[in-house]
Structure formats: C-alpha cells, structure tokens
Amino acid sequence: MELGEDKSQTTEGHQFISLSLPNDFTYLLKIDIHKKGSLINFLNSYVLDKRSLYVLVEKYLTKSGNANGDGLENFFHSTSWYNLRAKIASIYIGYKEEGNWPDKINPSYVDELLLFEEKIKRYSVDGYSRGFLFAFYLKMIQVHLKKTNSFFPFSIINLLPLTKSKSIKIDWLLLILFKFYQFFGEKKLTENLKMGISFEKNFRALSSEQKEEFFNEGLSYAYSINDKETLLNLF
C-alpha cells in the first residue's frame, strides 16, 4: 500500500471520512512536543496518566511486566520521541490491518508515513508532528476501506511552495488544498495561489453544495483527530 500515489491523477469522488483514532496518541502529534519542559518527564507523566496508551507502551515497548510504571522513565531515556511515535503508530495500524492486537511491532507499517512527512518537512514548523498525523489518518482510511493506495496524490504536495510560508497546522493546509484542487482544478488553484488569493475569497467562490461538502469533510477530519476548533476558526 502506498500513500500519495503518483498514478492517481484524479481526486474526484474521494472523501475525508470520520474514523475513531486514538485521542491520547493524536494529541501528542498535534502539539509542539519540545515545549513541554523536560521531554522525558512530560512523556512519563502523560503516558502514566493515559491508561490505554500506557498499556500499549508497557506491552510492546518497556515489557517490564508490572502495572505501576517502573521502568517507564528509563525507557524514555533510551529512546527518542520520533522513534516512540513511529512504534505506537505501527501498533495502531497493525491493529487496524489485522483486526486484533499484533504479536509484535511491524515497523514497515510507518515507512510510508515517514516518507510523506519528509516530503512536506520544509513546509512544516519544527516540533510539531502534524504532517505525520495527517499521514497516519490517511493510512488508517486506506486500511479501513481496504484500498491498495491512498486517495491523496503527491501532486497536492507540489502546491505547497505556492503557499509561501511554513505552517504549524500543515495537515489542515493539505486538506484545504485537496478540496480546492477538487473544486477549482489544478490550473485555477495554481493561479489563485500565485495571486495570493485568501482562503476566505476562495471559499466564497464555491457553490453552496461545495461549501457544504468542504465543511462536512472538514468536520469528519476534525472529529477523527479531535480538533474541531481549527475547523470552526476557518470561518
């Protein structure tokens, strides 16, 4: 399976759907993880407080065999945030793919996510993992729908240089570009971006049906990652 399939030349008919993603994990991908003081102390406290996440970390990563958190802090000393998020994502994708909790972590599940994130890295703000979050969401849709490839083409990423600035919420920017790409077509959207036309003006140019579609799919994504505030702030 591949994210951002280059062979997919059309975005027609593809939709962002609501998925029940693990909120305790997606929260970590939405924030600037390096502004939480001591990263090790923050992760240790956070994971201990989130029972479902702690159980996964204990079962697959620390393997200390106890329920009181012994060994958790030592584990965080021995790993990086980027390694941790990749392994946790692999576990959740494995569960979605196999229908039960996997016997062991399959690191290949996140190869595409890391490749996707690397392609948009120069347009993202350091410290946030929202590009990884967006790729995680796309991958979970792909597995959920049992598709060979993701509906999200790399051609959308090629439009990012035209936005002319780095974005904290790169995931929402990509969603907006995708929907405008559907509505306007590549040529018109490229012209609008080069002219610096604002989101508000582009949105006003949509038909009532297109506005409703944009909001509904934005709401589906917002629900999936527990981020309705960002959607509402667009309007």
108 and 216 fall within a common domain: no
pLDDT in tens, 40-52: 999 999 999 999 9
Task: Give the total number of structural domains in the chain.
Answer: 2
117 and 225 fall within a common domain: no
Q: Model confidence at 7, in pLDDT bands (50, 70, 90)?
A: very low
| pLDDT at site 1 | 45
Cα–Cα distance list, 154 to 3, 137, 212 (Å)? 8, 16, 25
The two three-digit tokens of residue 144, written as one number: 């959920």
Which of 102, 130, 151 is a domain's end point?
A: 151
| pLDDT at site 65 | 54
191 and 98 fall within a common domain: no
Which of 98, 117, 151 is a domain's end point?
A: 151
33 and 129 fall within a common domain: yes
145 and 162 fall within a common domain: no
Mean pLDDT of the chain: 90
146 and 189 fall within a common domain: no
Please indicate, yes or no, if residue 32 is contained in any of the structural domains: yes
In the chain, alpha helices (H): 23-30, 39-49, 51-57, 72-78, 81-98, 111-120, 130-144, 154-157, 170-184, 186-194, 199-204, 208-225, 228-233
83 and 188 fall within a common domain: no
Comparing CA positions, the residue from 26, 28, 13 lying closest to residue 217 is 13
Query: Mean of the pLDDT values across residues 149-154?
Result: 83
Range of the domain at 142: 21-151
Which of 118, 151, 184 is a domain's end point?
A: 151
144 and 159 fall within a common domain: no
- Comparing 34-38, 138-142, 194-198, the range with the smallest average pLDDT is 34-38
Angle at 132 between CA 130 and CA 134, to 5 degrees: 70
pLDDT in tens, 213-231: 999 999 999 999 999 999 9
79 and 145 fall within a common domain: yes
Please state, for a pLDDT cut of 90, what percent of the chain lies above it: 76
Please state, for a pLDDT cut of 70, what percent of the chain lies above it: 91
